[in-house]
Each structure stands twice: as structure tokens, then as C-alpha cells.
Amino acid sequence: MPHFFIDGKKIETKQGKTVIEAAYENGLQIPHFCWHPELSVSGNCRMCLVEVGMPKRLPDGTPEIDDNGNPLVNYIPKLQIACATPVSDGMYVNTKNEKVVEAQEAVMEFLLINHPLDCPICDEAGECKLQDYAFRYSDGESRFDETKNHKDKRQKWGPNVMFDAERCISCSRCIRYSQEIAKQDVLTFVQRGDHVTIKLFDGTQLDNPYSMNVIEICPVGALTSPDFRFKARVWDMSFNDSISFADSTGSNIKLGVRNNEILRIEPRTNPYVNRHWLTDDARLNSYEFVNKNRIIQPLIKQGAEHVPSSWQEACQAVADGLISFKPNEIMFLASAKATNEDNYAFMKLARQVVKSPNIDFLEHIDKSFNDEFFLAVADRAPNTNGAIAVGIKSEESHIKAKELAESIKKGYIRALVVLEEDFKNHEHIIETLDNLEFLVVLHYNHNKITQKAHVVLPASTYAEIEGTYTNKDRRVQHLSPALVTKENLRFMGMKMSRLDKFGAFNDKWTQHELRDCKQSWRIIANISNLLGTDWKFKNSEDIFEEISIKIPLFANMSYDKIDEYQGLVLGKGNNPDPKLINYESHVFKPE
């Protein structure tokens, strides 16, 4: 294994690594704009200039040593870019000496010459690499007093990407991303010198299903999303780790929340799942239902109207309803959109308490999303594998979810309990629900199904709960709450942004709707305890502990361990994938 020295520190690395990679893997960050570990090296930002040299050798091959016993180093007279310089054995690299600092200041001065410096307006401010580096690696002075070069602002590159040419520092990350990762080669540099800008080829658009990742990797605010543009400042939001709800990829995400509303979803690096990327669909279509049209209290149908009620009344109504039918007349419809914990509790209620043989769930397959790229998958529910793994198997159910519509029509099924299911892609079932004598729905939004329900129980969405999803590769991943409900109010206090945390009752920003919804397993446990059981789960972790004891696939798993290894594969609780170093483009590492 070759070893080399960065600022005198000895570093072991693999053959063929570049200086910047080897440094990053050892916790040293060399400033850079255009380098990204997933993309090819272009070396055009010049920010990662370092001094590189090899020790002088005597004719017999031994290193020449000065009077103090230190080896004499032959430095290359010109600085080299760390992103394109492969490490060779015994190499000396300086990243902090006078020459390098001078070069970094010069590069920053050059980059800022035509940059509009409109940070107060720019959305990237607060998480901008250029801003951070200007603070740390620039001497803060510009000798440029000519007029700045103006370019086109507000260019629409595609349905989900806006481009501001003035802010662009021509790092070419977006060009390389669309060529190499998204495989849609539509971007290119045009013009020369300080007039250089990025253009789409004539008649093309950046409209691939992964286009919004260019916004993520853009080191400055040149690329923005029309969806989020100017909505909030980065420092006003809290970012909480979660797992994507959009599909069974289980992409790791961060939820950007302000005033108890999700404003944006961005990817979180997980080398085993989504690497650095996220589909546009997962970014855009999995937060509206969390923010809007929510059921905020339990509802019971009296006549044709839904009447708000207390949790006690609503759960009692469900318990009374369930006893009045024969167990095999009741169908329990679990969900691929609910967590492992919720599905487990639901299954326990169905099999052990009500003793119904009918428990199944609907799959959400939409072939239009399938392509050769690894992120977009046809399975549109986040936890299909998890539902199966906790023991909800179609073949074990007397009446299968596929036959549900028919069974209701024929009168085999007279009561139905629906867990977080919206019957998307299964619309034919919705009409038959009118034939049911008793319909209980646990859901977050008002929709056609909740309209027909006799009891509606407001469930918390994925953004408000603690739990686990099992993705398409059978990887169990942990999601933690990002939004406040009445249930998690005390617990969430510390995770909120500054404004949410310290607001008083007469501050406008704290006057958001506080929803009285509960995580599904809590509702299920309430009902179950009214039917005579004695479940003592205090939090999701208790349920997960029981799952890990009772179900061999989940053996040796715990939330802490899942967090530590960024997810554990089913059946491999004891032998997790090795931890890898996660590159975060916009995380500015303190030294």
C-alpha cells in the first residue's frame, strides 16, 4: 500500500487514488468546487491546488537527508490540482503553506470577479460552497473595479430546474452529472473566457427523472428548483433525517421543515441505497399530502355526517364494531405504505386479538416508473418487503387483497379495517366499499375512502413518526420525526429550528395547525387494549424490540444499530455492511 504525506501527516492509501480522495478518506478536506466523488474529474475550478513533490534521491536510491535528518523534497515548481494528481509512494503534499494559500486566494478572487454577490437574494446562501470558501480561503479583497459581466438570469432548463447564469462558476458538475449519471447529454459550455456559460443544446430540455440532482450538486446558487425558489432561508429550516416515502428504493432523505411544514426534500448520502441521488418524483410528490388536507381529529359517522369525537370514543366505537362481526367476516387491510412497526401491531391485532384469518395488503406497482437506472422502481410503496417480512403474506390470508372487491360484493366480508391505504392503482375497490356494514380507516388525508368510513382515525404521516421501512433490497432503515403533532410535541421540541423552538403563543409563526393524529400502532394498541389485551408498548422502539425477538429476519437489530450502519439487511442483523465514508457536497467540515 502506498503511503504519502499531507502537511507532514503520513497517510496510507490504495494504489490509483488521487490526492483529494485519499485526503477525504482520512478526514482531511482539500477545498474544491468541481470535484465530486461520483463524477469524472474535470479539474477546471483550480480550487484544489496543492504543492506536490518527491524526496530527492542519491544515485544509490536512498533519500537525501538534510542536517536535521529531514528528507529533502523536490517540489514541482507549479502547483498541482489535488483532484487529478494520483498518489505515488512517498509523495509530499502541502495544502496549507504560503504558496498554496496565495493560490487559493487568487482563485477565489478570480471566481468572484463576475459573480454577482447577491447572497441576500440567492437561495443557496447559508449552504453555498462559494460563500463558505470566500469566508475561509479568500482574503476578502477584490482588485476588480471594472463593470461585471452580466448574463441571463431565470433560464428554464426543464420542468424542475431553473438556471441563473450570473451566479454560475462554470464548475461543470451539472454537465458531467447529466452525461454520466442521468445519461441525458443536453448541457454544454458555450463562449470563451469570462463569457463562458452553460447552454442546452437546441430543442432539448433537462427533463430526465433525476434532473433535480443538479440543483443539489451545484456548489453555488446557479441552479434552483421552481418548486422551492425563494420560499425559505436555509437557516430558518430544520433538517431531519428520514426515508423517502415515494417508492421502495428507500432513498435516504432530509426533510427541510419550517413552521411545521415540509418545504423541501433533499437526498442524504447512503452508499448502499441511493448514493448521493434522489428521483425528482421523490422530491416533489411526497410532501404535499403531509402539509395539506389532513385529518386533524377522530371522526365518527352519525347518519350521513362525520362528527368529531375523542380518541376514547372513536377507539371504543371500533372495538364495539369489531366484536359484533364474526372474525372471518372482518378483513384487515395492512399497508405497504405503513412502517414495519405499524404493520406488526396491525397483524397482531388481526391474528391474535380479533382472530381473523383475513389480513393482506395491496401492492402498488406502476410500470411507468421502471427504468434501467437504479433509483426509479415500479414499486411505489416504501415498505412492501417490510409488510411481508413482519408476516403479512398474501398466501396465508383466507381472502386475498386482490379478491377484496368481489368478496365485499358477495357479502363474505362485512367489516373492513384499512391501515394507511389510499387504493391508488386499485380504484375499483373504492366503489364496493359502500356495501360494507363497518369500515374503519386509519389515514392522514381526507379522501374518497375516509368519506365512506364509519370511523376515521387520523394517522401520522411518515414525517411525524419513528419507525422503520424495509426497502426493495430488504434493507431495514430508520426514519425519525421531522414534524410536530400533539402526540410528539414534547419530544420534538429540541429538533425544531430556532423560530419554532422559541416562539410564544402570539407569534404568528407558531400558529400552525397542531394535528391531533397518532402513529398507527398507538391507535391499534388502543383498540386492542379495549378488546381485552394488555399491550404495554411505550414507543416505537419497544415494538421494534419485540419484532427483533419474535421474527428471525429482524434478529439482532435495534434503532441504534440501524442508525450506526445506515440500515441493516434483513437476516443480517449480526453482520452489517461495512461503514463507508460519506461525501457531503455542502457540508463544510470544521478543522
**C-beta of 231 vs 402, nearer to another protein:** 231
**C-beta of 143 vs 508, nearer to another protein:** 508
E strands within 149-297?
155-158, 161-163, 187-190, 197-200, 223-224, 238-243, 252-258, 261-267
* Least CB distance to another protein at residue 528 (A): 44
**C-beta of 147 vs 575, nearer to another protein:** 147
Interhelix angle 129-137/98-113, nearest 10 degrees: 140
Phi-psi region of 341 (alpha: psi -120 to 50; beta: other; left: phi over 0): alpha
Alpha carbon distance 481, 590 (integer Å): 27
DSSP 456-479: EEEB--GGG--EEEE-TT-EEEEE
**C-beta of 235 vs 491, nearer to another protein:** 235
* Least CB distance to another protein at residue 225 (A): 12
* Least CB distance to another protein at residue 172 (A): 25
Alpha carbon distance 157, 162 (integer Å): 6
Q: Which three cell numbers stand for residue 37?
A: 466523488
DSSP letter, residue 349 = I
Q: Which helix (H) or strand (E) holds 561?
A: helix 559-564
* Least CB distance to another protein at residue 230 (A): 5
* Least CB distance to another protein at residue 186 (A): 25
DSSP letter, residue 420 = S
**Contacts by 264-271 with C-beta closer than 8 Å and gap 24+?**
264/225, 264/227, 264/228, 264/231, 264/232, 264/237, 266/216, 266/239, 267/213, 267/216, 268/241, 269/582, 269/583, 269/584, 270/566, 270/567, 270/582, 271/566, 271/580, 271/582
**C-beta of 232 vs 551, nearer to another protein:** 232
**C-beta of 144 vs 509, nearer to another protein:** 509
**C-beta of 20 vs 215, nearer to another protein:** 215
**C-beta of 57 vs 153, nearer to another protein:** 153
Alpha carbon distance 523, 317 (integer Å): 12
Alpha carbon distance 100, 270 (integer Å): 33
**C-beta of 185 vs 513, nearer to another protein:** 513
* Least CB distance to another protein at residue 256 (A): 15
Alpha carbon distance 473, 457 (integer Å): 32
Alpha carbon distance 131, 454 (integer Å): 56
**What pairing do the DSSP bridges indicate for beta strands 92-94 and 3-6?**
parallel
Q: Which three cell numbers stand for residue 136?
A: 475561509
Q: Which three cell numbers stand for residue 281?
A: 418524483
Residue 340 CA: distances (Å) to CA of 86, 335, 469: 46, 10, 6
* Least CB distance to another protein at residue 118 (A): 7
* Least CB distance to another protein at residue 235 (A): 6
**C-beta of 21 vs 236, nearer to another protein:** 236
* Least CB distance to another protein at residue 502 (A): 6
**C-beta of 58 vs 504, nearer to another protein:** 504
Residue 390 CA: distances (Å) to CA of 208, 464, 468, 477, 528: 36, 22, 12, 14, 18
* Least CB distance to another protein at residue 197 (A): 18
* Least CB distance to another protein at residue 239 (A): 16
Alpha carbon distance 543, 536 (integer Å): 9
**C-beta of 135 vs 235, nearer to another protein:** 235
**C-beta of 61 vs 120, nearer to another protein:** 120
**C-beta of 231 vs 398, nearer to another protein:** 231
Site residues, another protein (CB under 8 A)? 118-121, 125, 153-154, 229-233, 235-236, 498-499, 502-504, 506-509
N residues, the chain: 591
Residue 351 CA: distances (Å) to CA of 343, 386, 577: 12, 18, 34
* Least CB distance to another protein at residue 187 (A): 23
Contact 152, 204 (CB under 8 A): no
DSSP letter, residue 391 = T
Query: Rounded to 10 degrees, what is the CA torsion of 166, 172, 174, 176?
Result: 160
* Least CB distance to another protein at residue 173 (A): 23
Please identify which residue in the block is written with the cell numbers 459573480: 115
* Least CB distance to another protein at residue 236 (A): 6
